[in-house]
Amino acid sequence: MSVKSEKDKMLAGELYYSNDPVLVRERDAAFAQSRRYNSLGVSQKEEKLDILKALFGSCPDDLELVPAFHCDYGYNIYLGHHFYANTNCVFLDCAEIRIGNYVFLGPNVQLYAATHPLDPECRRQGIESAHPITIGDDVWIGGNTVINAGVTIGPGTTIGSGSVVTKDIPPNVLAAGNPCRVIRQLK
């Protein structure tokens, strides 16, 4: 029986050692690519798109990602068509982050697929886990929103600014708050 690598454990949603040398190298490479992207000028659209296509798991030609942005690995980020993210968005993509078509993120939106154990001894050892985030088509997420690990947001939903999304949000609703909760149905 073969032993799973820390990366395999991470991708499987199991506890893993986050400072594994392979994972550190991959995070460093993604950081370098995102810094390069963030340093390019507005007119360098083709060069910026080339960086994102090499960095992300999938990246359409018709996206707009306003610098600066940060990601952990990049390869776990899958973007749909007509994606827009305003400045200072963070993607902690230790697990897959799948974003549908026509999704808009306000400034400072943070997607945290990473999570940490409640046991302080585990945290001291650098142990963590990760769970996928899924955002359906036609979702708008207001600025300064945090979306936690394992959350799914249904299509057609709007998340109000400053929300902390800790649980799944159904389709076609307005939801907001800390913790985020459904305010009303939209359709």
List residues with catalytic annotation: 116
171 vs 155: CA distance, rounded Å: 5
Q: Which residue has the tokens 């307005």?
A: 174
CA–CA separation, 172 vs 158, rounded Å? 8
The SS3 of residue 22 is helix
Q: 10 Å Cβ neighbour count for 172?
A: 14
- Enumerate the β-bridge partners of residue 114: 130
- The whole-angstrom separation of Cα 49 and Cα 55 is 10
Instruction: Give the pair of three-digit tokens for residue 32.
Output: 């370098």
For residue 17, how many other CB atoms are within 10 A of its CB? Answer: 14
DSSP reduced 3-state for 105: strand
